[in-house]
Amino acid sequence: MTIDMTLDHPVFGARRLPGLAELRDDLVGEFVTPADRDWAVRRLPWNVAVQAEPAAVLFAATPEDVSTVVRYAATHGYRISPQAGGHGATAEHAGTIVVRTTGLDDIWIDATARVAKIGAGVKWGALQEELDGTGLTGLIGSNPDVSVVGFSLQGGYSWFTREFGTGSGALRAVEIVDESGRRRWIDDRTDPELLWALRGGGGRFGIVTAAEIDLFPVDELAGGRLMFPIETAPALFSAFAEASEAVPSHVSLWASALNFPDLPEIPEPVRGESFCVIDAVTTRGLDELSQVLEPFRAAGPVVHDTVRRRTPGEIGDICEEPTDPTPGLVFAVPLGRLTDAAIGAIIDAATRRGPFLQFQVRDLTGAPGGRDGVGATTTAGYLLSVLAITPFPEAAAAAEDAARELQRAFAPWTSGRLLPTFLAPWQGLADAYAAGERERVAAIEAAVDPAGRFAASVRAG
In this prediction, residue 62 has a pLDDT band, given cuts at 50, 70 and 90, of very high
How much is the mean pLDDT over the chain? 89
β partners of residue 309 = 222
E strand segments, 240-338: 251-259, 274-282, 304-305, 308-309, 328-335
Q: DSSP secondary structure string, 166-187?
A: -TGGGEEEEEEE-TTS-EEEEE
Indicate if the pLDDT at residue 13 is higher than 60. no
β partners of residue 308 = 223
Which uninterrupted H or E stretch holds 296? helix 286-297
Q: CB under 8 Å to 439, separation ≥6 — which residues?
A: none
CA 12, 30, 97 angle in degrees (round to 5)? 50
> What is the percent of the chain where pLDDT is above 90?
69
pTM of this prediction exceeds 0.85: yes
Using an 8 Å Cβ cutoff, are 364 and 378 in contact?
yes
Distinct helix (H) and strand (E) counts, the chain: 12, 19
Phi, psi angles (nearest 5°) of residue 405: -65, -40
- The pLDDT of residue 8 is 36
Type of residue at 434:
A
pLDDT tens-digit series, residues 193-214: 999 999 998 778 999 999 999 9
What does the alpha-carbon distance between residue 294 and residue 154 come to, in Å, rounded to a whole number?
Answer: 35
The top-scoring range by mean pLDDT among 12-16, 47-51, 302-306 is: 302-306
* Sign of the CA dihedral with 155 first, then 116, 456, and 143 last: negative
Phi, psi angles (nearest 5°) of residue 316: -70, -10
For the ranges 42-46, 377-381, 436-440, 448-452, which has the lowest average pLDDT?
42-46
pLDDT tens-digit series, residues 121-165: 999 999 999 999 999 999 999 999 999 999 999 999 999 999 999
Using an 8 Å Cβ cutoff, are 46 and 83 in contact?
no
In this prediction, residue 322 has a pLDDT band, given cuts at 50, 70 and 90, of confident
- The pLDDT of residue 204 is 83
